[in-house]
Amino acid sequence: MIRKYADRNEWGKIEEEDITVVSVRTIGFSGTVTLVKLRKVKEPLYKQYDRNKICVAGSGYTWLQLFPEHANYNVTSIYDERNRIVQHTITICKSQGVTVKGVPWYDDLYLSLVVLPNRQLFVLHQDRLEDAVRRGELAEKDGELAWRTANLVMDEYRKGSFDLLLVADKHLDELVKGVKC
């Protein structure tokens, strides 16, 4: 299991960034919202989904991360330099929290879901999860938690009730304007 941080320092390709972290308690969301503005990256990062090659990190891009309380996932909504949505990534995690410096973290269970603007849904890194369980890096119950959580999120998404994708733009607008969510 890998502990990852909202500021993405472990990635090593971000040269300049601005990060804003706010705690949010509203009717629709309770948790931590992080806005990472990628001012300058060493080189753009591209991901391939079927025949679509998509830039997910470039200079001027924005990552809005939602860390809902008591959830085994977080959502990263990626926007290009013109604030157009590129993709949503739902990362399945065992636990999450905030460092003493106020930076959100999560213990990644490897399994991720990606939703593109055309509503296509992709399940990623199943092999990493299965390998980690097979090697004993993750307990069997962690693998079961990952799949149970992913299936729950996918079911909610397919029913149109996974609201975090709907509120991402609202949080982005409010954070960019400097208004607390």
Task: Record the tokens describing residue 69, joined without a space.
Answer: 């309380």
Range of the domain at 14: 2-176
Does a structural domain hold residue 97? yes
Does a structural domain hold residue 158? Answer: yes
Q: Is residue 138 part of a domain?
A: yes
- For residue 56, is it within any domain? yes
What pLDDT was estimated at residue 161? Answer: 87
Where residue 54 sits, what CATH number does that domain have?
A: 2.40.380.10
Q: Which of 142, 84, 92, 138 is nearest to 114 (CA)?
A: 92
Q: Is residue 181 part of a domain?
A: no
Does this model's pTM top 0.75? My answer is: yes
Q: How high is the mean pLDDT in each 10-residue block of the chain (181 residues)?
A: 81 85 86 93 93 93 94 96 95 95 94 95 96 96 98 95 80 63 44
Contact present, 97 and 72 (Cβ < 8 Å): no
**HSE (side-chain half, CA atoms, 13 Å) at 104:** 27
> According to the model, what pLDDT value does residue 179 have?
44
pLDDT of residue 181: 44
Instruction: Give 127: exposed, middle or buried? Use CB within 10 Å, 0-12, 13-18, 19+.
Output: exposed
What pLDDT, on a 0 to 100 scale, did the predictor assign at position 2? 87
Residue 38 placed within a domain: yes
Q: Which residue, 104, 75, 94, 80, is CA-closest to 163?
A: 75
Cα atoms in the 13 Å half-sphere on the side-chain side of 179? 7
What domain count does the chain have?
1
pLDDT value of position 155:
96
User: Which SS3 state, helix, strand or coil, does residue 139 take?
Assistant: coil
- Rounded to whole angstroms, how far apart are CA atoms 47 and 89? 12
